[in-house]
A and B are shown apart, each in its own frame.
Chain A
């Protein structure tokens, strides 16, 4: 069930209508969350539920056993790791791994066929598998490290793991933060409701007005179903994709946060206007924050992080970025995307250490955005060859027929709107006058209805959220 569907509208109304009746006692509330969340997830395919049940049960039991039998802590932790990473490997990476092995054998002149031997069930990619697996993993890792006490109540655990607003595309919520929240009965104040409404409206606006209206323009370009070509054309397509992926994913996160807030829970911010970043380092502190902090806490810092400098920094950064790339998708394109980010992050550390980016604020924002946009080409392309072809068009001038602006007018309008909004938000954040005017005169009261009317009258074709595939 996707947020931008009639099914979800009916589901959401029903859920929030019943929520006050179940939000009284812990077990009742947790049972309600779990049943609703399983219904929400099972709507795609009820067979997916077995995997989340397996992953959840494994970690729930591993958590309890690690505390009960401290001498066997490592064993239980290893079982949890193997179980979670194993299910990810089977369902997400089996084809990719088989392709790599086949390529290696082909390189030495030996022909093998592994892909056809993969069992059919492993070819299905359960929606949001990477999100809930990481969430489940963080639970056992924190218990193993002694930073979290396991919950003894299975409903409590599953309401944390399967909570429907963030189940399929995050934000990746930490057990140490969210399990506690789930034990409290919270009455949502009017102010919180207003904030929740704002988050939901802005989320839907980003998704259905911006991202969905851009998708046709981008899809036709990447599928080769357009007569247009040339440098200018591909730059506009690439910039449009930068905004599509941002608005699509940020939109989902905002809706998820808004729904949680409506229930009385708080999810941390997942996007903080990443295209206002002055560097790649800043970009990663603003983009998909719940994932980047997950990698920071569970991979980058344990590997040594930046404190030791030199080799260790190189290895921890490379490993983190590579894992982040592979987390996004099982394809060479994601590996190259991650490697490019690694190169830019490392270059920044070496070259820009002594440079005060504040002096070149607009230039550094512009350069960071352009480079991020170029890396997105690898993220969006189906093959490395396709991405290389597009990047060469971006970097070597070839003539573009301007008529594409007319042909794709319906999308271009929303690209301008997206750029304008980000620009206005930037001004609002950096101008005290503008910001105080906005708050003093409660512009929200106009902005929210305006966004809702745009959602109602100018939403694009309802498509799946891009990040569901991860």
Chain B
């Protein structure tokens, strides 16, 4: 048989087979690609905002800028710059500052400061660093080509046998919010991982001084700093207060002069794993923060 015929026939069979299978098989689960697109998009955003929200996973899962901006004028913009286990060190704060609109009259830095985000381990900021310093091609691939990659993403045999085996647990919103989609009741499963999180990881006084000074300097530049302790389950709150060996009120007192603190009643928020807020509670928290910002 003529080799050219073989090449063309094979090519034709591949094209026909591809589109036939695309029609027959269920839609791809692109959770991983979407997640990467989300984090790369967040890290390499070129937009500037009036409000930048910073913090760890309790913040990026707990604050939706869409709900926060509910009562704001339409041209106000906000972005959730939260990363997992983030610590408030200089580079992160500078990164957040760089996203604020220079020309904005009301620039806000909203900080969700959890007990863990003050610890030395959090200051390593490994999650944020894992996305930084990537080549422009890598960034382009993860952000602009995500839809194409999703179209060509592959299947696992079990995906076909058991439809909807891994339903998406999270929705990754372009404003930086990660919404928990499931209706699972509070499992408190995150508590266990916090039992030893403060071992050899105690909050250091000198860091608190440094952070206070940095925030003071930021406020002097005309940026309004609003802070809150991210709501979590009562069990987690007690655990953190006990294990961290630190009185959170001490930090509130030392920064009271230049930070407006939001007082939140943790009893009114619901978590899905003992640490992070459910979608409904995240929306509620966002609206609460929005109201505070408007009153500032």
Interface residues of A (CB under 8 A from B): 6-7, 189-191, 193-194, 197, 409-410, 413, 442, 444-446, 448-450, 452-453, 456-460
The minimal Cβ–Cβ distance linking A209 to chain B, given in whole angstroms, is 9
Question: Does B21 touch A at the CB level, under 8 Å?
Answer: yes
Complex CA–CA separation, A156 to B141 (angstroms) = 35
A457 near B156: Cβ-Cβ < 8 Å = no
Question: Does B220 touch A at the CB level, under 8 Å?
Answer: no
Complex CA–CA separation, A385 to B43 (angstroms) = 42
CB contact under 8 A between A458 and B154, given known A193-B3, A193-B7: yes
- Set A409, A442, A449, A458: member contacting B14, Cβ < 8 A: A449
Complex CA–CA separation, A121 to B1 (angstroms) = 56
Complex CA–CA separation, A413 to B157 (angstroms) = 8
Complex CA–CA separation, A456 to B9 (angstroms) = 18
Q: Report the 10 A-B pairs with minimum CB-CB distance, sorted nearest first.
A: A449-B13, A194-B3, A190-B3, A191-B3, A410-B156, A449-B14, A190-B4, A448-B10, A459-B154, A413-B157
B154 near A456: Cβ-Cβ < 8 Å = yes
Cβ < 8 Å to A, chain B residues 1-41: 1-4, 6-7, 9-10, 13-14, 17-18, 21, 25
Of all chain A residues, which has the CB nearest B17?
A: A453
Complex CA–CA separation, A453 to B141 (angstroms) = 23
Question: Does B185 touch A at the CB level, under 8 Å?
Answer: no
Interface residues of B (CB under 8 A from A): 1-4, 6-7, 9-10, 13-14, 17-18, 21, 25, 137, 141, 145, 149, 152, 154-158
CB contact under 8 A between A190 and B2, given known A6-B141, A458-B157: yes
B6 near A457: Cβ-Cβ < 8 Å = no
The minimal Cβ–Cβ distance linking B30 to chain A, given in whole angstroms, is 14
Please, which residues of chain A bring their CB within 8 A of the CB of B13?
445-446, 449
A457 near B7: Cβ-Cβ < 8 Å = no
The minimal Cβ–Cβ distance linking B236 to chain A, given in whole angstroms, is 26
CB contact under 8 A between A458 and B10, given known A190-B4, A449-B17: no
Beyond known contacts A446-B13, A458-B157: 11 more, CB 8 A cutoff: A7-B137, A189-B3, A193-B7, A409-B158, A410-B157, A442-B6, A444-B10, A449-B17, A453-B17, A453-B21, A457-B154
Please, which residues of chain B bring their CB within 8 A of the CB of A194?
3, 6-7
Please, which residues of chain B bring their CB within 8 A of the CB of A458?
154-157
Complex CA–CA separation, A193 to B4 (angstroms) = 9
Of all chain A residues, which has the CB nearest B138?
A: A7
- Set A7, A413, A457, A459: member contacting B21, Cβ < 8 A: A457
The minimal Cβ–Cβ distance linking B15 to chain A, given in whole angstroms, is 9
Of all chain A residues, which has the CB nearest B11?
A: A449
Complex CA–CA separation, A456 to B153 (angstroms) = 8
Of all chain A residues, which has the CB nearest B149?
A: A6
A457 near B25: Cβ-Cβ < 8 Å = yes
Please, which residues of chain B bring their CB within 8 A of the CB of A197?
7, 10
Complex CA–CA separation, A197 to B155 (angstroms) = 24
A453 near B14: Cβ-Cβ < 8 Å = yes
Please, which residues of chain A bring their CB within 8 A of the CB of B4?
190
15 contacting pairs across A/B (C-beta < 8 A): A6-B145, A189-B3, A190-B3, A191-B3, A193-B3, A197-B10, A409-B158, A442-B1, A445-B6, A445-B10, A449-B10, A449-B14, A456-B18, A456-B152, A457-B21
Complex CA–CA separation, A409 to B160 (angstroms) = 12
Most chain A beta-carbon contacts within 10 A, residue among B1, B4, B6, B158: B6
The minimal Cβ–Cβ distance linking A30 to chain B, given in whole angstroms, is 27
B6 near A452: Cβ-Cβ < 8 Å = no
Please, which residues of chain B bring their CB within 8 A of the CB of A444?
6, 10
Complex CA–CA separation, A458 to B21 (angstroms) = 12
Please, which residues of chain A bring their CB within 8 A of the CB of B149?
6
Complex CA–CA separation, A57 to B109 (angstroms) = 56
Complex CA–CA separation, A261 to B14 (angstroms) = 22
A409 near B157: Cβ-Cβ < 8 Å = yes
A452 near B155: Cβ-Cβ < 8 Å = no
The minimal Cβ–Cβ distance linking A216 to chain B, given in whole angstroms, is 10
Of all chain B residues, which has the CB nearest A417?
A: B157
Of all chain B residues, which has the CB nearest A410?
A: B156
Most chain A beta-carbon contacts within 10 A, residue among B6, B7, B154, B156: B154
A457 near B155: Cβ-Cβ < 8 Å = yes
Complex CA–CA separation, A446 to B152 (angstroms) = 22
B2 near A452: Cβ-Cβ < 8 Å = no
Of all chain A residues, which has the CB nearest B148?
A: A6
The minimal Cβ–Cβ distance linking B48 to chain A, given in whole angstroms, is 30
Please, which residues of chain A bring their CB within 8 A of the CB of B17?
449-450, 453
The minimal Cβ–Cβ distance linking B12 to chain A, given in whole angstroms, is 8
Of all chain A residues, which has the CB nearest B32?
A: A461
Complex CA–CA separation, A460 to B145 (angstroms) = 19
Complex CA–CA separation, A370 to B4 (angstroms) = 43
Please, which residues of chain A bring their CB within 8 A of the CB of B6?
194, 442, 444-445
A452 near B14: Cβ-Cβ < 8 Å = yes
Please, which residues of chain B bring their CB within 8 A of the CB of A6?
141, 145, 149
A445 near B9: Cβ-Cβ < 8 Å = yes
The minimal Cβ–Cβ distance linking A452 to chain B, given in whole angstroms, is 5
Please, which residues of chain A bring their CB within 8 A of the CB of B18?
453, 456
Please, which residues of chain B bring their CB within 8 A of the CB of A193?
3, 7
The minimal Cβ–Cβ distance linking B47 to chain A, given in whole angstroms, is 26
Complex CA–CA separation, A1 to B222 (angstroms) = 47
Please, which residues of chain A bring their CB within 8 A of the CB of B141?
6
Complex CA–CA separation, A453 to B22 (angstroms) = 11
The minimal Cβ–Cβ distance linking A141 to chain B, given in whole angstroms, is 38
Of all chain B residues, which has the CB nearest A195?
A: B3
CB contact under 8 A between A410 and B7, given known A456-B18, A457-B25: no
Complex CA–CA separation, A457 to B155 (angstroms) = 6
Of all chain B residues, which has the CB nearest A454?
A: B154
Please, which residues of chain A bring their CB within 8 A of the CB of B158?
409-410
Please, which residues of chain A bring their CB within 8 A of the CB of B154?
456-460
Please, which residues of chain B bring their CB within 8 A of the CB of A452?
10, 14
Please, which residues of chain B bring their CB within 8 A of the CB of A409?
157-158
Please, which residues of chain B bring their CB within 8 A of the CB of A413?
157
The minimal Cβ–Cβ distance linking B1 to chain A, given in whole angstroms, is 5
